Structures are given as structure tokens and as C-alpha cells.
Amino acid sequence: MFSYLIRRVLATIPVMAIVALFVFSLLYIAPGDPAAVIAGDQASPEDIEKIRKSLGLDRPFLLRFTEWAWSLLQGDLGTSMFTGMKVTELIGQRIEPTLSLMFVTLVFAIVIAVPAGVLAAWKVGTWIDRFIMALCVLGFSVPVFVVGYLLAYFFALERDWFPVQGYTAMKQGFWPWLENLVLPGVALGFVYIALIARITRATMLEVLSQDYIRTAKAKGMGTTGILFLHALKNASVPIVTVIGIGVALLIGGAVVTESVFAIPGLGRLTIDAIVRRDYPVIQGLVVIFSFIYVLVNLLIDLLYTLLDPRIRY
Amino acid sequence: MQSKPVAEQLPDLFAPRPIAKGFVAYCLRHPTLSFGALLLILMLVLAVFAPWLGTIDPTELAPIKRTREPSAEHWFGTDAVGRDIYSRVLYGARVSLLVGFSVAVLASLAGLIIGLLSGFLRKLDGILMRVMDGMMSIPPILLAIALMALTRASVENVIMAITLAEIPRVSRLVRGVVLSLREQPYVDAAVAAGTPTLSIIVKHILPNTLAPLTVQATYICASAMITESILSFIGAGTPPIIPSWGNIMADGRTLFQVKAYIIFFPAVFLSITVLAVNLLGDGLRDALDPRKAKLS
């Protein structure tokens, strides 16, 4: 087990290295002249040359990449071209709202989606099942900011139940913090709920047709016990896997949700950076988000052994 | 001489039910598929015939008539600079559909090539799949954002950025199908008969990847439309001069609390279109693989 842990952790290093290499290569893959694009239309040739220098485009790729990767290893993501601040510092200032939003969404999604999926599998073929599955198709089809605006319109503008926009830091109290995150959390969670509910239903259907479920029924076990003790436990591995994969959706969606609800997090930082064409910041954000994603999936891989004792390494 | 029947003919307990043939019957058997296709065709018609559907120039400014609520003159109202939202929404359908279809086709083609290569050339497989793993670890929208930050805003660049972000998933899918097909007895038979590898790929493997790939392509189309609207919405997509659903919503963002209809109409059209494509995908999945349809 311990050696597996070490091996699994070590295995993420090449993945992260490839992420870093790929993100760095974007500067070279992108068609046209990135320096000219970043400088904007009114830039003089000198400005463009200055940006080319600061991005390191005037030096050979490998040399530049080694430099960049070396500072990345030391936790240095470069300097913002617009504010002159360290990218890591900028990210540090904005990370709390984003992590809060993602955490609240995760909790919402799991609490709603897993029981919904179990219910759909239990009542398979009935109108309850159809209704839940129809909601799932809707969840995949309605973009996150549309859900966000709908929620904001009905629950914040029409009825004064939640604040329309904004964010309150957690240290100012739990309830004010949560109050601001309910609508964004539900909006962001919509597609995620659809994803988890669908896989929960599919795996539950498979598990419910197993012999040991029939045995449990035969010996008189209650439905709740069968569904949650026997079936859900055995269906947990694929469900947890999808929860991990879906974090990519969460990250992408967070950028938009923060914009809809004016939450000053990493998404807001991304949008500001796009408007100012502040490439080092964007690059840093992509690296940070990707690393978070890789780490979440590493944790989930390690969770497998707890969920299913048959999985041994 | 005709033989006499020994016994009365047994009654037909399970009368053979003839399977109705023809286009209409097929559509009735696959309601999801036909409904999705119908909705999508409707959107296509709206997009193609936009100039003849009572629209005016979608970029024409009319500051005097700004932020008019929906009325007989302006069905969906006007935006902050007086542009007719109905016209903008109809023309916006062109961008969304173009991006969706192009990305679906390009990403499928690229994924097909990479998937086939990596399923057949074991040496290449290790490298290709590690690269795909790395790319898959970058959330697709962020990858597209990063690319868009480095290129000039244009519809072509949006298509390219989203395609690049979608390729790893398709490649994985095709590779998985290829690896399982390679183990099939008929492939062994073909190898034993001395069929050259290339014609095994073309004649035996390729046709079998098409069904799952088509289904995957529709899902890619749906997600590409959503990504395009998100990119445009946050200002990293289609240039603001071109009316696209994301752009219209971005324009309405600041006015949302007072003029919610600006965002409402493009949002509804976008959702319906993506829904149509998703239904088409679900329908295709069930129609192409009836065994799985019963399970899911």
C-alpha cells in the first residue's frame, strides 16, 4: 500500500511536467505573432519588441523553457505585465473565493446528485426516472451562466431571498459567506449534478441486477438498506471517478460564474487578464488550475483503495 | 397429391408484428433522435435564412431606440446601443452552428488519426497518450482561453482553440475502440490471411469506430457551442463586431438588473440549440447501439 502511494504520487510528476511543457508551448503553437497580439493594435514596433523580450520569444525555445520550468519549480510563476506584481501573489489574493465556491458547489452537487441517481435507478422506467433523466439532459444543455442569470433573476431580483452579487470572506462569519455562495453554487453545480446523477444511475442499475442484491432482498432487508449499504457502496468507484473528472467542468465554469455573480476570485482575475492581454497571469492561472485538477484526481485514485478493498496495489 | 393436415393449425399466439418500414416509421421508433434533429434543422433554417426573416442589419446602431422592451417593432427589444436583438439572435445562430459543426468535424478527424495511430503503433502509443494525458489535465475552457489570449479574436481562431481542447478526449475514445477491436477474431483471421495492416485498418477497424465516433462528435458539437458562448461572454471569443449569442449576452451583462430580456433571448436560443444537439446525440447512441439503449 505504502509503496503504491509513493509510486502513484511520483506518477503525477511526468503528467505535471507535460502540462507545464504544453502550457509553455502555447506561446509557440499559437498562429501569428503573439507579441504583436498582446501589444494590441496601437502598439509601436518598439513596444512589440519589448514584449517579445519580456516573454523571452527572442531566445531559443529550449533555453527559455528550462528557465521558466526552473523558476516554476521554485514556485515562481513570473510577473504580471500589467500590474508588475508577482503572479503567485495575485493568485494568492484571489484564491479564497474560488476555492469556497468550488467547495460549496461540490457539496451541493454530491448531496443532490447521488440520491437523485439512486432514486432514478430504483424507480427505473417510471416517470420519476424519466423526470430525473430529463433534468439531466437539461443540465448538460443549459450553459452555466444562463442558469446563473435565471437564478439571480428569480431568487435575488424578483424575490429578495439571496444577494444578487458579491462575496463575503469566510472570516466575517459563516452565514454571510454561505448566503453569497448559494446561487453561484447551484448555478455552477447544475451541469455537475447532471453528470454525477447520470453515472450514479447507470452504475446503480448494473449493481442492482447482481445476485447479492437478490439475496439481500430474499433475507428481508429493507429497501433503504439495500440501496445505500449494499448497492451504493459497490457503485461508488465509478461515481467517485466522475466526481474527480468533473472538477475540470467546475474549474471552467467557475470563471464564468464568478463573472455573473461578481465574485472577486481567480475567474475574475482570468477575465481581467484577458482584457489586458496579461499573458503571464493567464499562463500562471492555467498551470495552477491544472495542478489542482491533477491533485484532486490523485486523491481520488488513492480513495479507491478505501472504497473497494478488492483494489490492491 | 396434397397431404392433409394431421391436426388443426395452432392459433398464432404471438402474431408476427411487421416492423414498419420507411422514413416516418423510423422517426417514430426513435423519438429522441427525430425531435433533436427537427429542432436542429429548425435552427439551421433560422440561421441560413436570417436575412429574409424580418431582420434588419444586426450591427446597425440606433441610439435613439436603445433598450426598448420587446414590442411589435422589435420582437426581442433593442440593446444598449439600439441594435435589434431579434436580428442579432438570428444572425448569432450562424456563429454558434458554424463553430459547433466545425469543431465536431475537425476534432473527430484529428482524434481519429491520433487514436488509430496510437492503437496500432505501440511505440508511438506511450508518447501520444502521455501528451494526451497532459492536455486532458488542463481544463478545456482554460486551454481555449489561453490560446485565445495569444491570437487575434476571430471565428477561425475560436474554432481552432476549442478543437485543440477537445482532441485528447476523442483520441482516447478511438484508441479504446481500436484496442478492443484488435482482439476480435475477425481481425486475427484477417492477419492470418495475410491482409496488409493498412487495409485491416481501413476495411475492418475504421468502419467500426464510426458509430461511437459519430455519437461523440455530436457531444463535442454541443460542448463546443457552450464553450464558444462562454469565450465570447468573457471577451475572449468571437470579435465583438460579429453578433454571436455569447457577445449579445456580454453586452447585456451590465444591464442585467434592469433589462434582463437582453440576456434572456440569446440564452434561450443557445440552450435550445445545445439541447437539440444533445438529444440528437442520445438518439444516435440508442439507434446505433440498441443493446446498450436498453440498459441506459
Q: Give the per-residue pLDDT at A298.
A: 86
pLDDT surpassing 80 at residue B60: no
Minimum distance, in Å, between the CA of residue B254 and any CA atom of chain A? 10
Kindly give the parts of chain A with pLDDT less than 50.
Answer: none
* B129 close contact with A: CB closer than 8 A: no
When comparing pLDDT for B122 and A270, which is higher?
A: A270
Local confidence band at B109 (pLDDT 50, 70, 90 cut-offs): very high
Q: Give the per-residue pLDDT at B295.
A: 47
C-alpha cell, A257: 460564474
Look at residue A168 and give its three-state secondary structure: coil
* ipTM of model: 0.86
Contact between A307 and A240 under an 8 Å Cβ cutoff? The reply is yes
Local confidence band at B218 (pLDDT 50, 70, 90 cut-offs): very high
Q: Which residue of chain B has the CA closest to A15?
A: B134
pLDDT tens, position by position, B221-254: 999 999 999 999 888 888 888 888 888 888 877 7
Q: Give the per-residue pLDDT at A179.
A: 79
Nearest to A142 among B141, B271, B296 (CB): B271
pLDDT surpassing 80 at residue B185: yes
C-alpha cell, A10: 511520483
Task: Spell out which residues of chain A touch residue B142, defining contact as CB-CB under 8 Å.
Answer: 251-252, 255, 270, 285-286, 289-290
Local confidence band at B102 (pLDDT 50, 70, 90 cut-offs): very high
Q: Give the per-residue pLDDT at B82.
A: 67
Closest residue by Cα to residue B31 from B273, B296, B277, B283: B283
Domain A94-307 falls in which CATH fold? MetI-like fold (1.10.3720)
When comparing pLDDT for B196 and B76, which is higher?
A: B196
What DSSP string describes chain B? Answer: -PPPPSSPPPP-SS---PPP-SHHHHHHH-HHHHHHHHHHHHHHHHHHTGGGTT---TT---GGGTTPPS-SSSTT-B-TT--BHHHHHHHHHHHHHHHHHHHHHHHHHHHHHHHHHHHH-HHHHHHHHHHHHHHHTS-HHHHHHHHHHHS---HHHHHHHHHHHHHHHHHHHHHHHHHHHHTSHHHHHHHHTT--HHHHIIIIIHHHHHHHHHHHHHHHHHHHHHHHHHHHHTTSSS-TTS--HHHHHHHHSTTTTT-THHHHHHHHHHHHHHHHHHHHHHHHHHHH-HHHHHH-
pTM summary value: 0.86
* B99 close contact with A: CB closer than 8 A: no
What are the Cα distances from residue A38, in Å, to A34, A52, A138, B141, B188?
Answer: 6, 9, 38, 20, 55
Local confidence band at B291 (pLDDT 50, 70, 90 cut-offs): low
* B137 close contact with A: CB closer than 8 A: yes
What are the Cα distances from residue B255, in Å, to B248, B259, B269, B270?
Answer: 12, 5, 19, 20
In degrees rounded to 5, what are phi and psi of residue A136? -65, -45
The contacts of residue B220 (CB under 8 Å, 6+ apart) are B103, B104, B107, B108, B166, B169, B170
Across residues B196-220, what is the average pLDDT?
88
pLDDT surpassing 60 at residue B161: yes
What is the C-alpha to C-alpha distance for residues A145 and A112, in angstroms, rounded to an integer?
20
